[in-house]
Structure 1
Amino acid sequence: MIASKNSFIHYLKLFVFYLQQIGLEILFPNIIYLILKPVIGDIYAALYMPVPNVVSILLTLIFYRLVEVLSILILLFYLAGSLATYFLNDPLLSQLASCIINITIGLAFLLTEWFAPKPLAFYFGRPWFTKNQKELILWWNSRWGSTNFRTELKWNSYVWGVGFIILGSVSLVLLYTLELDLAVVVVLVFTLVGFAGMGCFTYFYAGVWRRRELRAETAKNEGDFEELPSNEVVLK
């Protein structure tokens, strides 16, 4: 009974995690805008775009007792875009927020890789690889001492940094060249495809490094043993 309850909680947390990262953070702000626009108009619909981000932050706080800085920054950008739309009476401004977010995050990936003690990739990848579970967060933090891990993060910084900048720049062009409702849909699809591509790179590249680490660990363990004339094996 206890095992069944723990299993349910585990899968519930996984569901909430993916709902947050894919639904609340990426999809729902623009979906809410498109749903509410015919009902209350584009200006007022834009005011509701930050709501999914607020829900995401609250869920993380309730389930994991954590506050992700990146989620707060994204919320601030959406709030700024929504308020600018309301006060300047221009619905385009609410959509520009996501473009600015992407370009800013892309630059942050590159700049922190070059100049910060720890790159943004370290903090950005942590919730995805740990699902915000405390024991896995400790494991993730402990990996920083590994040279292989830092090299892995470096290349992820480059790929995600350039990828985010491309996403933001292309989306910006689309918003100014297409009709707004069509642009919102195209940008949303383009963003999902971009994230899927960068996510696949990270997944397969992480697999490559894990196999390298396993081979290195195996070679090290084999080197710790030597065969004696009596055919006994002892640890050095």
Structure 2
Amino acid sequence: MVAERDDVPASTAETSESGDSTKEAPRPGRRWDVREMVIGLLVSMVFDIGLSIAIFSVAKNLGASDLAAYLYSSIGPLVGMAIEFVRHRRIDIVGVVILAVIALSLAVTLIGSDDPTVLLLKDSALTGGLGVVILASLTPLFPRPLMYYLGRKFGTDGTEAGTAWWASLWQYPSFRRSQRVITGVWGAGYLAEAIAKVAWVLALPFDTAYLLNQVVPLAVTVVLMVWTMWYAARTRRAGERRASRSAPPLA
């Protein structure tokens, strides 16, 4: 596979029988900026989710149609993306996904569909499409799985030292394997979420379905993140045990 081209030469890293390097990846020069990581997560929760729901509710109370209220709610993610751009001078993949949602919503409107249910089903299609893209990133067409890049966003503090440390981990077979497993689980999770969205959009009133469309993705993401942290910690501990077993005894 294309990703394997980043293997470390045997002369620069000792390898155990399981294929894992026995040397730890170099750590960054300082601890993560936890404050920056927390701020990034809060921005996503407050603006991408909270502000969107608030704007939708206010617009509905002021008499806006379901379609108009839905489009107004896009202001929340745009504000969150703008804040992240001002803070880090870059638009990450999360912002790109948000832009795709908004662009697709506007496209549905422009082609003449004024049925708000279509917009909610569009959310389902986008979630399912994202799941397919995530799974497709496991193929040789992509140099690294998609969750590697999201891991870099949420697993580091965004500094040059942090991102350089994350990139250095790719030389280790156990890290590459863990990133592929994580990517597979996230892709399958989003596909399952998309199927559930279709079910409740077709069965429930618009307001209820809209609320579920905003809250459930956050819950699914939290569950996937908790599982990811558990799995990454387990993989790290397994690597440390292999390294300790293969280390030469002290004289």
For normalisation by structure 2, the TM-score amounts to 0.76
Aligned partners of 1:12 and 1:196: how far apart in 2? 19
Q: Which structure is higher in RCO with an 8 Å CA cutoff and minimum separation 6?
A: 2
User: Is residue 32–residue 49 contact of structure 1 (8 Å, CA) maintained in 2?
Assistant: yes
Q: Which runs of 5+ in 1 are unaligned?
A: 1-9, 228-236
Tell me, yes or no, if structure 1 residue 194 matches structure 2 residue 220.
yes
Aligned partners of 1:131 and 1:35: how far apart in 2? 35
User: Is residue 81–residue 93 contact of structure 1 (8 Å, CA) maintained in 2?
Assistant: no
For residues 140-198 of structure 1, the C-alpha deviation after alignment (integer angstroms, 9 at most, x for no partner) is: 11111111111111111111010001111211221111111111223334323322221
User: Is residue 169–residue 175 contact of structure 2 (8 Å, CA) maintained in 1?
Assistant: yes
Tell me, yes or no, if structure 1 residue 95 matches structure 2 residue 120.
yes
For residues 45-95 of structure 1, the C-alpha deviation after alignment (integer angstroms, 9 at most, x for no partner) is: 222232222222222221112221342232122232145347532222332
**Greater alpha carbon shift after TM alignment, 153-162 vs 27-36:** 27-36
Closer/same/farther in 2, CA of residues 219 and 66 from structure 1, 3 Å limit: farther
Corresponding residue for 2:68? 44
Closer/same/farther in 2, CA of residues 34 and 94 from structure 1, 3 Å limit: farther
Q: CA deviation at 1:206?
A: 0.6
User: Is residue 156–residue 166 contact of structure 2 (8 Å, CA) maintained in 1?
Assistant: yes
Q: How many residues align?
A: 216
Corresponding residue for 2:22? none
3-state SS in 2 of match to 1:113: coil
User: Is residue 152–residue 166 contact of structure 2 (8 Å, CA) maintained in 1?
Assistant: yes
Aligned partners of 2:211 and 2:161: how far apart in 1? 39
Q: CA deviation at 1:204?
A: 0.4
Corresponding residue for 1:232? none
Q: CA deviation at 1:130?
A: 1.2
Tell me, yes or no, if structure 1 residue 33 matches structure 2 residue 56.
yes
Tell me, yes or no, if structure 1 residue 150 matches structure 2 residue 176.
yes
Question: Of the candidates 14, 23, 30, which is equivalent to residue 37 of structure 2?
Answer: 14
For normalisation by structure 1, the TM-score amounts to 0.80
3-state SS in 2 of match to 1:88: coil
Corresponding residue for 2:195? 169
Q: CA deviation at 1:38?
A: 2.0
Closer/same/farther in 2, CA of residues 31 and 103 from structure 1, 3 Å limit: farther
* Amino acid paired to 2:115: D
3-state SS in 2 of match to 1:125: helix
**Greater alpha carbon shift after TM alignment, 155-164 vs 17-26:** 17-26
Question: Of the candidates 138, 155, 172, which is equivalent to residue 129 of structure 1?
Answer: 155
Question: Of the candidates 93, 106, 112, which is equivalent to residue 137 of structure 2?
Answer: 112
Closer/same/farther in 2, CA of residues 156 and 80 from structure 1, 3 Å limit: same
Higher helix fraction (1 or 2): 1
Aligned partners of 2:55 and 2:106: how far apart in 1? 13
Identity of aligned residues (%): 21
Q: CA deviation at 1:112?
A: 0.7
